[in-house]
Amino acid sequence: MASSSSSLNNGRVAEIVFFDLETTVPNRTGQKFIVLEFGAIIVCPRKLVELESYCTLIRPRDLSAVALRSARCDGITRAAVTNAPSFEDVADKIFSILNGRIWAGHNIQRFDCVRIKEAFAEIGRPAPIPVGIIDSLGVLTEKFGRRAGNMKMATLAAYFGLGQQKHRSLEDVRMNLEVLKHCATVLFLESSLPSALNGEWHNNMGVTTRSRSLQQCSLSGRLNDKWNKSSEITQRFSRSKSICKEETCRKSPPSTSLSYKRAVPYGRGSLGKVTAEVKKLLCNARSAPINNLLKHSQSLLR
C-alpha cells in the first residue's frame, strides 16, 4: 500500500473507493489503451459497507479502435459504446468519486491509476489525487501467498468459488471486495489458530478448541493415573514401614504383650520341682555311673 502523508479528509478517515477500468487491448506497437468503462464502489473504511456506486460505459474518440466482437463472452463491443458518453462528459463525476479518497483495486498501481492519468491528460484536465492506494494484488501476494495460483482476479475468484470473472467494471469491483473478505477471513483464522489449521497444536492463550479440550481431559486422566499410582506406592511404603516396625518388635517383644509369650514344655508351678530333681540327680551322679545320669535325664525330659 502506498499512501500520502495523511489519510484524513476534513477531519475524518478518508473513504475507500474500489474501482476498475475496462479498456481496449492494443494489437500493435505504439497503440494506446483506451478506456471503455469505469466502475467504482465507495465503501466505509471501518465496515466495508457500500456507500455509493457508479458505473458508465465510455465512447472513445476513435470507434474503430473497439472490436466489433469481443473475444470475451461478456466483453465490450463497438455497438455497446457507440451511444455512450465520452470521457470528457463523465470526467467531473469520475473526478468527484476518486479525488481525496483512498484508491483500491486489483493491480491498479501499474494499470488503472496510469490509465486515469492518461485519460485526464488527453482532455487537458488535472487528474484526481488519492490520499492512499491499496493494490490488492500486492497485498494478497505478500500476505496470502501464491496458494491460489497466479493471483489474477479470475484465479482468486475460482479459488474461493465465487464464479467467473465478468470483465465488466462494476462486477469486477464487487468480486474484488468479496475476494478480499475471503482472504482476510482465512488470514485471520490462520493467525488465531495456526497450529489447529495445520493439524497440530501448540498452546495459544485465549483460544480453546475441541482438540485442546480433549487433550486437557486426556492430560487430566494421565495426572489422575499418576496420582493414584503415587498414592498406591505411598500406601505400600506405609505398610512396609509398619511391617518393618512389627518385625523389630518381634525381635524384642514387650513384657506386657500377651501375643508374644513363648510356649514352654512345663508349667510355672512345676519349675521348683524340676530344679529339685536336677539337684538330686547331680548329687547322685557322684557315685552312680554317667549312664544312669543320662538315663534319668532322658526320663526327666520326656
Residue 186 near residue 193 (C-beta atoms within 8 A): no
Catalytic residues: 167
Residue whose cell numbers read 501467498: 145
**CA 133/CA 128 separation, integer angstroms:** 13
Contacts with 188 (C-beta within 8 Å, 6 or more apart), sequence order: none
Phi, psi of 203 (to 5 degrees): -60, 130
Phi, psi of 30 (to 5 degrees): 90, -10
Q: If DSSP states are collapsed to H, E and C, what string results for 163-201?
A: CCCCCCHHHHHHHHHHHHHHHHHHHHHHHHCHHHHCCCC
